[in-house]
Amino acid sequence: MLGGARSGKSHYAEEWARQQGGAVLFVATAEAHDDDMRERIADHRAARPPDWHTLEAPRNSAGQIAACDFPHDTLILDCITLLTSHVLLELPEAATQRAANTAVLGEIERLLAVYERSDATWLVVSNEVGMGVVPPTRLGLLFRDMLGRANQRIAGQADEVLLLVAGLAWRLK
């Protein structure tokens, strides 16, 4: 599920999982660094059904998913945007585009390897940030480029790709 901020991506994924039934593993990549984010995370947690299992995995999501022993039919990974941000922010400030590419796509490849071994349906949420303003900073440009590459790689493996705009889903693949 791709889309801009507040486009309905997470809600769409959660509703789809509710309708399918079965055990759900929700993989959260957000971290609460301020009061606003703490409130958003708390609201998201409260909105999820109590029988869903939440795995907090802002880093090394692939390894944490692989090690998780909660049996699940559906996995919601929310979101690649924050995961990409975390990977980039762990790099040295002077990291090259090549180093950023290696770090971000390495994490994506590890996720796809876990996906390939999984019997669950995966719903992956990510922002589409390449349709807006060109970022004015080096880190902003790296983030836009790396997230775009991550989204392309995941979309290439996905059975379906949806773009959400104003809560409406457009089927891309």
Cα separation of 74 and 21, whole Å?
Answer: 9
Q: Is-catalytic flag, 53?
A: no
Strand-strand pairing, 121-127 and 162-165: unpaired
Cα 79–80–82 angle (5° rounding)? 75
Omega of the bond prior to 79 within 30 degrees of 0, cis? yes
Residues 144 and 135 sit within 8 Å (Cβ to Cβ):
yes
Measure the CA–CA gap between 131 and 6, rounded to whole angstroms: 15
Tell me which of 11, 33, 44, 53 is the catalytic residue.
44
Catalytic residue annotation: 44
